[in-house]
Every structure is written in C-alpha cells, then in structure tokens.
C-alpha cells in the first residue's frame, strides 16, 4: 500500500509529541492535503525521506551528492512502491550506498528530524527551484560494506556526526 497523508500525519504527530519545538518546521508538511505532496513534480515542495545511519562508533554515513556537489545523509524522493516513510528512507540508503538492508536496523519508528530546505532549479531535468520536506529516520548499521552506486552518488563515507547539515540533528544524535 502506498504512503498516505494519514501515515504522514501519524509520523508527524509522534514527532511533535517528542520534539514540540519543531512545530514551525513541520507546518508545511501538515498543510499537505493530498498524496500529490509525495510526487517530485509537486511545487513549491514535496516530501522526501532520509536515513541517518550510525555505525557502532557513532560515525554517520554521508554520501556525496552528484548534482548538488555536497555531502548529505542518504535520502531522496518517494516512489510509488514505498509503503512507509521509514521504508523509503531505507530504500534510499541501500540504493545510494550499496549496503545490504539486512545490516540496517531502524532504531525508532518515528522521525528523529524533519527539515525543510531549498533545492536549486535543475534545468537538465526541467525542474524549477523547490523545497524538500525531508523526514529523517535513525538507523544503525550492524554490518555491511559500503559500495556506493556511482550512478547515484560520487562517494559514501563514515564521517563525524558534526558533518551533518543540522546542529539540532547533531545534538539529538548525542543520545545514541
């Protein structure tokens, strides 16, 4: 069954119960009223899912994004076959890093972070500038070798958590 608005709202409600200070960041997602918000063509923004993957030493898995030329956590657009936001985040992590999904354990079934960030126009794909409403889930890597998929990313590396793009997220990871 594809991801629904009801699933998104359930995830966000649980997130706000834990992190009520994030209400402003979450509001654009709560304003979505149809599954169109899961389609990458929807403007001014659409929902994406990311995996915050920690190893046993607390390092975080980052990928070097080809189009944006920056280091990010694995993640991206939702696909019609995704059954949940955590499943979409897992799929993206596997696609971009080559990790075996058996070695990736979802630590919490609700998001650890939600971030709304701008994406520049991509004329090559015919996409205008827009926002990503990124719902981020925490995973632990228990085993597996990184084999970045070069059609997706330039590289994948274990890096210090401080290399993430959000000080709030870095602070939340200290509990793990």
Spatial CA neighbour of 38 closest among 90, 96, 83: 83
Domain boundaries, the chain: 5-173
- Number of C-beta neighbours around residue 33 at 10 A: 8
Q: How long a stretch of residues is the chain?
A: 176
Determine which of 11-25, 43-57, 76-90, 114-128 has the lowest per-residue pLDDT on average: 114-128
- Name 39's Cβ contacts closer than 8 Å, sequence gap at least 6: 46, 78
Rg (CA), the chain: 15
In CATH, the architecture of 5-173 is Alpha-Beta Complex (3.90)
pTM of the model: 0.94
Please give the Cα distance from 162 to 59 (Å, whole number).
9
Mean pLDDT rounded to a whole number for the chain: 93
Please give the Cα distance from 67 to 63 (Å, whole number).
12
H helical segments located in 37-141: 85-97
Spatial CA neighbour of 137 closest among 158, 111, 167, 157: 111
Q: What digits encode the pLDDT tens for the residues 26-60?
A: 999 999 999 999 999 888 999 999 999 999 999 99
Phi and psi, residue 84, nearest 5°: -160, 165
Please give the Cα distance from 115 to 136 (Å, whole number).
8
Q: Is the dihedral of CA 114, 156, 80, 38 positive or negative?
A: positive
């Amino acid at each position: 069954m594809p991801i629904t608005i009801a699933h998104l709202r359930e995830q966000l409600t649980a997130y706000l119960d834990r992190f009520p200070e994030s209400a402003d960041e979450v509001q654009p997602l709560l304003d979505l009223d149809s599954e169109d918000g899961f389609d990458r063509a929807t403007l001014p923004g659409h929902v994406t899912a990311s995996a915050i993957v920690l190893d046993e030493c607390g390092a975080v898995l980052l990928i070097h994004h080809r189009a944006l030329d920056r280091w990010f956590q694995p993640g991206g657009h939702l696909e019609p076959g995704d059954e949940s936001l955590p499943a979409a985040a897992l799929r993206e992590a596997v696609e971009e890093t080559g990790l075996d999904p058996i070695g990736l354990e979802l630590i919490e079934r609700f998001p650890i972070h939600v971030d709304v960030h701008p994406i520049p126009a991509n004329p090559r794909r015919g996409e205008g500038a827009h926002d990503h409403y990124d719902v981020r889930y925490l995973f632990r890597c228990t085993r597996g070798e990184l084999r970045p998929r070069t059609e997706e990313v330039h590289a994948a590396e274990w890096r210090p958590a401080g290399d993430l793009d959000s000080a709030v997220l870095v602070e939340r990871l200290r509990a793990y």
